[in-house]
Amino acid sequence: MSVAKNTLRTIEEWPDLGIVLPDGCRLSARVWLPKDASADPVPVILEYLPYRKRDGTTARDALTHPWLAKRGYACVRVDMRGNGDSEGLMQDEYSPQELADAVDVITWLASQPWSTGNVGMMGISWGGFNSLQVAALQPEPLKAIISLCATTDRYHDDIHYKGGCLLNENFGWSSQMWAYSSRPPDPALRPNWRELWLERLENEPFLISTWLRHQRRDSYWRHGSVCEDYAAIKAKVLTIGGWGDGYKNTAPTLVQNVPGAKGITGPWIHKYPHFAIPEPRIGFLQEALRWWDRWLKGEQNNAEDDPAYRHYLIEGAPPQRSYSHRPGIWLADDAIGWPMQRLPLSDLGLAQGSEAFERRVASPQHCGLEGGEYFAFSPGPEMPGDQRADDALSACFDTLPVDEDVDVTGAPVVSLTLVPEGSQAQISVRLNHVLPDGASTRISFGLLNLTHHKSHAAPSALELGKPITVEVKLDHCAYRVPKGHKLRIAISNTYWPLVWPMPEPVPVMLQKGHVDLPVRPTSEGAEWVFPEPVSEAPWDVDVLREERQSQVVETDMGSGRVTVRIERDNGKRRDRQHGLISGSVSREWWGIHPNDSLSATAKTHWTEEIERGGIHLRTETYSEMWSDAAAFYVTGKVTAFANEELIYERSVKDSISRDFL
């Protein structure tokens, strides 16, 4: 039997399909598929995550998977080993075990009587990463992937390190996973939920300890970095990102390196683009369906003939901590890379001379407070703010007002000759848009640990007083600087709280430099039009506590210490379909003294809870980090409660030597 192309199929949902791996570990899957799939098999779309299908990704799953299932697919949302309603224990992100399990799951799905044997893999963030990584392993049934908000290089372009600098998101994300993985299975699905929960708590890894032990780009980071061998990816790749996300470089990088890959980058934060902000959103589900129809069903719909890279050019605007909409136009390019325009730095500014100069960069430790979150995730105040405060603490080089619109589309590269005043130093380089009233909007930025300027695998101490020439590649961008406005390069040697400081504040003396700016010929109008966003009905819940978020910068006027305090109440809700109640609250504190790099401290506290019937289960997790000149110090604590009775408690602490950081 064959279903007509435009006929929607009646679907059913399986909330807890068991997939038993070769070692006997049972993974739990939620499945949406046509009711008649056993008689008329369908291709499979897999999303494979540690984020809990029962109460974690449920809101976005409701919008996405049933829509695709009605159009002739089995959408399978699997909880990874050791998370959600699955058995087993998780070891680390993207571990060999995780990827091997994924291959086994794909093989199992392809063999089911309701499956045609063709499998696609889709996911955002963790699911975007492992889609690429599993594709590189080439399981035969995997024909295509859609990877969103991911990266090709786990060391240089993830949340751990950037340019050899230690990102504070390394600690932040470890704290988040410490909380996420502490949660129990749903008691309604696992009769042995308490046993599984206690085993999970006892074996849950404190990931910051692992990640800090790999401060160089070693084999640990090369594993799972598909940039090591792009040719290994044989599945057809559609990759999607957002300018408000931390993973801005992946779409253009994959388009450049994987034959036939298609890329889309919009104005969005770390969300699927049919419900992301800032708007405009796009018809992501229609784009996904077209991709799956082409590569999983073999339909000749010409998806392979779409432009290689469709990206949203943001119209220059005043800085805001949060945007609901970003004016701009969609561009469409068949290849990546526009000619570079070289703008020299000089005492006169940017593109106003080329003579050697001297400019000392000695920023206080709190420079960077307007940098925003490394990747914005919520509608709260997470985007970069007005850069004037950070610019005032940096060395700045401005152009004259530009005499026509300038469309910067690509990855700017800043080359500098500088003299470090110590054996270790780092720099932050920003490309900013300066408005006529003086407001400063960050367009792109890059980081470099100067001890890594020759190699991220083999850093070396700097020679005091010896000039070095370095290159800092900024993130990809697509941004229009309007006529009459200015461009600015801002350089600091600190960037808190995005980056952990060096053991001591080491200034650098700039002597020469230039920026190579990718400038695209100005487009007069939109070059691509996406369909309007569609989705299925939203998650059906009773809201028991509304979401809220606050971010406050506090200065102790007595001590001078500056603290960024962030609280995100993610709300509390009851699933009307199966009754599970879930909620969470996170709290972060990032503190530093402007004159003391060793005063940096980070602290988090997460609360996670679920309720069902007369059972109330809760975990409280805590993490802290600080350092001296020789080492990093981290502590963690997890406590678990059943009906307010403490049933488990564990504390961990560790110290890790600093390695040119």
Query: DSSP readout, 367-420?
Result: TTTTS--SS--SSSS-S---THHHHTTSEEEEPPPPSS-EEEEE--EEEEEEEE
Residues paired with residue 361 on neighbouring β-strands, in sequence order:
508
**DSSP H helical ranges for 181-332:** 193-203, 207-212, 219-222, 250-257, 284-296
pLDDT of residue 554 exceeding 70, the answer is yes
Quick check: 1 pLDDT over 90?
Answer: no
| Across 339-346, average pLDDT | 96
Beta bridge partners of 477: 410
Q: What is the predicted pLDDT for the residue at 6?
A: 64
Give the model's pLDDT for residue 354: 78
Interval 195-200 mean pLDDT: 98
Confidence of residue 3 (pLDDT cuts 50, 70, 90): very low
Contact 67, 535 (CB under 8 A): yes
562-575 and 541-545 beta bridge pairing: antiparallel
Coil, strand or helix at 560: coil
Distance, in Å, from the CA atom of 265 to the CA atom of 245, rounded to the nearest integer, reads 10
Q: Residue 294: CA atoms inside 13 Å, Cβ hemisphere, count?
A: 20
Band (pLDDT 50/70/90 cuts) for residue 224 is very high
Q: For residue 629, how many other CB atoms are within 10 A of its CB?
A: 10
Query: Would you give the DSSP letter of residue 107?
Result: H
Model confidence over 6-33: pLDDT tens digits?
Answer: 689 999 999 999 999 999 999 999 999 9
Q: In angstroms, rounded to a whole number, what is the distance separating the alpha carbons of residues 307 and 335?
A: 8
> Bridge partners of 262?
238
User: Residue 35 to residues 9, 70, 94, 391: CA-CA distances in angstroms?
Assistant: 8, 10, 34, 60
Q: What is the mean pLDDT of residues 60-88?
A: 98
pLDDT tens digits, one per residue of 618-660? 999 999 999 999 999 999 999 999 999 999 999 999 999 999 9
| Other beta carbons within 10 Å of 365 | 23
pLDDT digits (tens, 9 = 90+) for 415-456: 999 999 999 999 999 999 999 999 999 999 999 999 999 999
Is there a cis peptide before residue 278, judged by omega within 30 degrees of 0? Answer: yes
CA separation for the pair 49, 134 (Å, rounded): 13
How far apart, in whole angstroms, are the C-alpha atoms of residue 372 and residue 559?
A: 25
CA distance 498 to 628: 19
- What integer pLDDT is reported at residue 5 of this predicted model? 57
Backbone angles phi, psi at 367, to 5 degrees: -65, 125
Instruction: Give residue 353's pLDDT.
Output: 83
Q: Which residue has the tokens 């399981």?
A: 139
Q: What is the mean pLDDT of residues 123-136?
A: 98
Q: Say if residue 2's pLDDT is above 50.
A: no
Cβ partners under 8 Å of residue 221, min gap 6: 153, 154, 155, 160, 214
Using an 8 Å Cβ cutoff, are 93 and 220 in contact? no
By C-alpha distance, which of 43, 133, 140 is closest to 93? 133
> Is-contact 239 261, C-beta < 8 A?
yes
State pLDDT tens for residues 309-332: 999 999 999 999 999 999 999 999
DSSP annotation of 303 reads: G
Q: How many whole angstroms separate alpha carbon 133 and alpha carbon 75?
A: 20
* Structural tokens at position 330: 């969609």
CB 29 within 8 A of CB 77: yes
| CA pair distance 659, 630, nearest whole angstrom | 9
DSSP notation for 125-172: THHHHHHHHHHHH--TTEEEEEEES--S-TTTSSSSEETTEEBTHHHH
Measure Cα distances from 316 to 319, 333, 434, 487, 658 in Å. Answer: 9, 21, 10, 11, 40
What b/e string do you get for 384-395 counting C-beta neighbours within 10 Å, with b at 16 or more?
Answer: bbbbbebbebbb
CA–CA distance, 263 with 147 (Å, rounded to integer): 10
Determine if the peptide bond prior to 533 is cis (ω within 30°).
no
Tokens of 214: 């790999």
Flag whether pLDDT at 4 surpasses 70.
no
- pLDDT tens, residue by residue, 472-501: 999 999 999 999 999 999 999 999 999 999
Question: Which candidate, 590, 609, 655, 637, places its Cα nearest to that of 180?
Answer: 609
Q: Are strands 508-520 and 340-346 parallel, antiparallel or unpaired?
A: antiparallel
For the chain, what's the residue count?
Answer: 661
User: In the prediction, which pLDDT does 355 show?
Assistant: 79
Indicate yes or no: pTM above 0.75: yes
Structure-block tokens of residue 211: 């990640």
**What DSSP character marks residue 227?**
G
DSSP 445: E
> Could you tell me where the DSSP H helices lie in 529-638?
none
Amino acid in position 513: G
Helix axes 126-137, 96-110, angle to 10 degrees: 70
Q: What pLDDT digit, counting tens, does each position of 406-417 carry?
A: 999 999 999 999
**C-alpha R_g of the chain:** 25
What's at 15, amino acid-wise?
A: P
pLDDT recorded at residue 123:
98
Residues 6+ apart with CB under 8 A from 482: 315, 316, 402, 405
Percent of the chain past pLDDT 70, that is, above it, reads 99
SS3 assignment, position 494: coil
